[in-house]
Amino acid sequence: MWIRSQYRKMLVKVTSVYIYGKLDGTFMIRGLNECCVGYQDDDFFNLGTYGTEERALEVLDEIQESIARDVFYRTEDCIRAVNTLIDDTPSFLNEMQNGLIYQMPKE
């Protein structure tokens, strides 16, 4: 899944996302890029920081919902394309592109 960072400066294709509690009491959402293989601390990208664990969990829930919608829409669009003999390709590709990148909320 592609995720754009909280301050829009990074676009990362991630394979896993998790919440990391920082010493200052904030909670960071971090993502692992699929090209990284060492799983060391440096392999994770900081996608956003939130003031409470509750807010970080809400954002993580949004990411989960976005993944579920993406899988559903891709499946439905593929079925529709096959059923219409690919006549509908431009419109369903445009619809798919609208849901492929999750934008991290600013707050």
Q: Is 42 helix (H, G, I), strand (E, B) or coil?
A: helix
Q: What is the pLDDT of residue 27?
A: 97
Q: Which residue in 94, 74, 92 sits closest to 1, CA to CA?
A: 74
Which two tokens mark 21?
Answer: 């509690």
User: CA distances (Å), 31 to each of 7, 37, 69, 82, in order?
Assistant: 15, 13, 19, 34
Specify the pTM. 0.68
Domain count, the chain: 1
pLDDT digits (tens, 9 = 90+) for 77-103: 555 555 554 555 555 455 445 556 778
CB distance 25 to 54 below 8 Å: no
User: What pLDDT is stored for residue 74 in this prediction?
Assistant: 53
What are the 10-residue block averages of pLDDT along the chain, 107 residues in total? 89 90 96 64 84 96 84 56 53 52 82
pLDDT at 100: 67
Please give the Cα distance from 34 to 46 (Å, whole number). Answer: 15
Contact assessment for residue 12 and residue 2, using Cβ atoms and an 8 Å cutoff: yes
Range of the domain at 83: 2-103
Q: For position 102, what pLDDT does the model report?
A: 79
